[in-house]
Amino acid sequence: MRLIGINGGTFDPIHYGHLRPALEVQQSLGLEQVRFVPCYQPVHRGQPSVSAVQRCEMIELAIAGQPSFCLDTIEIDRGGPSYMVDTLAALKQRYADSEESTALVLIMGTDAFANFHKWHNWQEILRLANIAVTHRPGEALPLYCQAGQILRAHHVRHFSQCCEQIVDVPVTQLDLSATALRNYLHQGQSVDYLMPPTVIDYIQQHQLYRDAKGN
């Protein structure tokens, strides 16, 4: 069974807080790929500060040196509100004809997973994919909340089937957010060492985020 990681988000802009955990999950779980899936229209936050094309171009620059990472524009191409359940269903169909059994692995941090029970049709998400919940080493998992009930019911040490299983993966979790980066850029502060130099060059070349203060 090959494992394909799905890493969704606005990536507005992409930074090391997205990239390093994804790499550690890929290595820890032996994922064949990690597909970065930028959303078109977020359903739980405001519209991205820059265009979908620009966000995709920054992702391509950021992952160019990592062969196991790739950009997937499935949500951009579909348009409209970006619901992960629709994305996973389409990806599941894409791999249905593969000779090798393929499991999708949705990657998310503990903050996102703590609200998983509020996601649109979360039950179907579990029927379509496994989940990897990332956390800092030693960090307590969200066990005693509504999402925690889901975690306890589906938690395993290692994936043994194509869906409905959840593993936790300790990673180097950087205390970094795209909102903070947008604020730095809006204020004219340096973002060196927080994101790939190629992405910084792109932002400077296109004069992005100068008027887009984070929120």
What would the pLDDT profile of 100-112 be if each residue is shown by its tens digit? 889 999 999 999 9
User: Which CATH architecture does the domain made up of 2-206 adopt?
Assistant: 3-Layer(aba) Sandwich (3.40)
Q: What is the enclosing helix (H) or strand (E) of 52?
A: helix 52-63
pLDDT along the chain (215 residues), means of 10: 96 97 98 97 86 98 97 96 96 86 95 93 98 92 88 95 96 92 95 97 96 56
CB 103 within 8 A of CB 18: no
The rounded distance, in Å, linking the Cα atoms of 139 and 125 is 25
DSSP state for residue 114 in the 8-state scheme: T
Residue 30 Ramachandran class (φ > 0 left, ψ -120 to 50 alpha, else beta): left
Predicted local confidence at residue 215, as pLDDT: 45
Distances (CA, A) of 189 to 89, 95, 204: 41, 44, 12
Beta strands in 92-172 (DSSP E): 102-109, 130-135, 166-170
CB count within 10 Å of CB 57 equals 16
The rounded distance, in Å, linking the Cα atoms of 42 and 163 is 25
Ordered by start, the domain boundaries in the chain are 2-206
The rounded distance, in Å, linking the Cα atoms of 105 and 193 is 29
Predicted local confidence at residue 203, as pLDDT: 98
Predicted TM-score of the model (pTM): 0.94
